[in-house]
């Protein structure tokens, strides 16, 4: 009954097998390993982007930060939602790498609306040299609230950005979960709707720790390489990143894992809806649910062995009737039985 995070589950056995297979003899370091050649081709094929520059990096914070730094000047501002991971959960890493600032666009459900974006863009930089200049847009798919942008919604955002000469970065820490939920292709969810760069997540979906940075217009590729190295993010024994990503993509393993996580989440949502005390907050569309429940109920379920985060208060002390928000995340390894056990506990 572990629903605290999708970065707490194990790596998929096939990923681990690939690591072992890669651990044979000598291999040139720093991305010159032959497995990386395979990975580059895999990613380009998956994205239908034969010119794309492809790099591997150990986690989402690094992927986001180095990509954004390669797209942003220090006197600019990056547009993202108020709840964006790059704003809330990276301890100023994006600011460190970009040397710029973030402009926060309000959001009701984790998703940015084009009008809200436009308002903020127009609000910034009407001051010539005095204010920050417009940098890129960064959106998250699956959002931090478990919601998903439709392709049209992404298109509308990138079009708004492009109208002001801005590029778009997509934080895809849960890319696979969104993709399988939308049942579209990676190209359709990215460059075909105006996305310029992608943090393509593996870590939360069955890898040990690997993300691909995908740059559709390779003219910033060399800058990215230098920034990655300068951030200490170029691995010498790079083959162990390559091997993870190679196995992740092979035989649609990544899609299978995401589908499984999403299915468990749907099962959870269905159960929660049948529970009087619980109320789902945002329409869960991928592998993450936010729900409201009285403190006493949270306490009871947590005491019963469930593991998840209560976001806005201590479940143990305070008014037992006060509604608190819990977050449930399913990873690829969550079983149908695990979910059922949780729902049984919830229902009692």
E strands, the chain, are 53-57, 76-81, 101-105, 133-140, 168-172, 197-201, 211-215, 279-280, 288-294, 309-310, 323-329
- Cis before residue 142, ω within 30 degrees of 0? yes
CA dihedral 249, 148, 277, 315 (to 10 degrees): 70
Closest approach of Cβ 100 to its own copies, in Å? 6
Q: Which of 130, 152, 276, 317 binds its own copies (CB under 8 A)?
A: 130
Q: Which position has the token pair 């049948």? A: 274
Q: Which of 4, 184, 281, 310 binds its own copies (CB under 8 A)?
A: 4
CA distances to 72, 123, 232, 246 from 240, in Å: 30, 45, 16, 10
Pick the closer one to its own copies by CB: 2 or 79. Answer: 2
Closest approach of Cβ 286 to its own copies, in Å? 18
The CA distance from 212 to 132, in Å, is 30
Q: Which of 110, 132, 186, 284 binds its own copies (CB under 8 A)?
A: 132
Cα R_g (the chain), whole angstroms: 21
Question: How big is the site for its own copies, counted in residues (CB under 8 A)?
Answer: 71
Pick the closer one to its own copies by CB: 5 or 340. Answer: 5
Closest approach of Cβ 36 to its own copies, in Å? 14
φ, ψ for residue 79 (rounded to 5)? Answer: -95, 125
CA 277 to chain centre: 30
Q: Which of 104, 112, 179, 268 binds its own copies (CB under 8 A)?
A: 104
Nearest to 201 by CA among 53, 10, 56, 31: 56
The CA distance from 222 to 225, in Å, is 5
Q: Which of 34, 131, 218, 320 binds its own copies (CB under 8 A)?
A: 131
Cβ neighbors of 23 (< 8 A, separation 6 or more) are: 240
Pick the closer one to its own copies by CB: 139 or 243. Answer: 243
Pick the closer one to its own copies by CB: 214 or 241. Answer: 241
Q: Within a 10 A sphere around the Cβ of 276, how many other Cβ atoms?
A: 8
Nearest to 244 by CA among 278, 281, 207: 207
Q: Is 307 in the site for its own copies (CB under 8 A)?
A: yes
Q: Which of residues 61-100 bind its own copies (CB under 8 A)?
A: 61-62, 65-66, 73-77, 88-93, 95-97, 99-100
Q: Which of 149, 240, 290, 332 binds its own copies (CB under 8 A)?
A: 240
Q: Which of residues 254-273 bind its own copies (CB under 8 A)?
A: none
**Contact range with its own copies by CB under 8 A, out of 48-56, 153-161, 234-242, 274-282:** 234-242
Q: Which of residues 5-64 bind its own copies (CB under 8 A)?
A: 5, 7-11, 13, 16, 19-20, 23-30, 58-62
Q: Which of residues 134-193 bind its own copies (CB under 8 A)?
A: none
Q: Which of 14, 44, 101, 162 binds its own copies (CB under 8 A)?
A: 101
Q: Within a 10 A sphere around the Cβ of 217, how many other Cβ atoms?
A: 14
Closest approach of Cβ 186 to its own copies, in Å? 23
Q: Which of 129, 165, 317, 348 binds its own copies (CB under 8 A)?
A: 129
């Amino acid at each position: 009954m572990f629903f605290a995070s999708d970065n707490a589950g194990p790596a998929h056995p096939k990923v681990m097998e690939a690591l072992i297979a890669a651990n044979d003899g000598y291999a040139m370091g720093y991305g010159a390993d032959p497995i990386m050649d395979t990975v580059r081709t895999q990613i380009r094929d998956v994205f239908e982007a034969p010119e794309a520059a492809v790099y591997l990096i150990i986690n989402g914070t690094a992927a986001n930060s180095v990509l954004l730094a390669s797209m942003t000047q220090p006197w600019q501002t990056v547009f993202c939602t108020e709840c964006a991971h790059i704003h809330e959960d990276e301890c100023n890493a994006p600011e460190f790498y970009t040397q710029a600032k973030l402009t926060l666009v309000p959001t009701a459900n984790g998703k940015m609306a084009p009008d809200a974006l436009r308002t903020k863009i127009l609000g910034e930089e009407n001051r010539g040299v005095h204010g920050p200049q417009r940098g890129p847009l960064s959106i998250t798919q699956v959002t931090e609230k478990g919601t998903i942008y439709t392709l049209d919604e992404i298109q509308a955002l990138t079009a708004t950005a492009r109208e002001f000469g801005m590029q778009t970065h997509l934080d895809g820490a849960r890319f696979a979960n969104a993709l399988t939920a939308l049942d579209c292709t990676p190209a359709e969810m990215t460059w075909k709707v105006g996305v310029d760069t992608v943090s393509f997540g593996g870590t939360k979906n069955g890898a040990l720790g690997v993300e691909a940075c995908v740059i559709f217009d390779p003219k910033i590729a060399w800058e990215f390489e230098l920034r990655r190295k300068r951030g200490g993010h170029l691995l010498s024994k790079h083959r162990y990143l390559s091997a993870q990503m190679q196995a992740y993509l092979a035989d649609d393993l990544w899609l299978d894992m995401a589908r499984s996580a999403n299915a468990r989440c749907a099962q959870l949502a269905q159960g929660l809806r049948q529970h009087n005390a619980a109320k789902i907050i945002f329409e869960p569309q991928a592998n993450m649910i936010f729900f409201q429940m009285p403190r006493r109920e949270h306490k009871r379920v947590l005491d019963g062995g469930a593991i998840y985060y209560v976001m806005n208060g201590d479940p143990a002390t305070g008014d037992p009737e006060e509604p608190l928000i819990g977050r449930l995340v399913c990873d690829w390894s969550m079983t149908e039985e695990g979910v059922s056990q949780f729902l049984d506990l919830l229902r009692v």
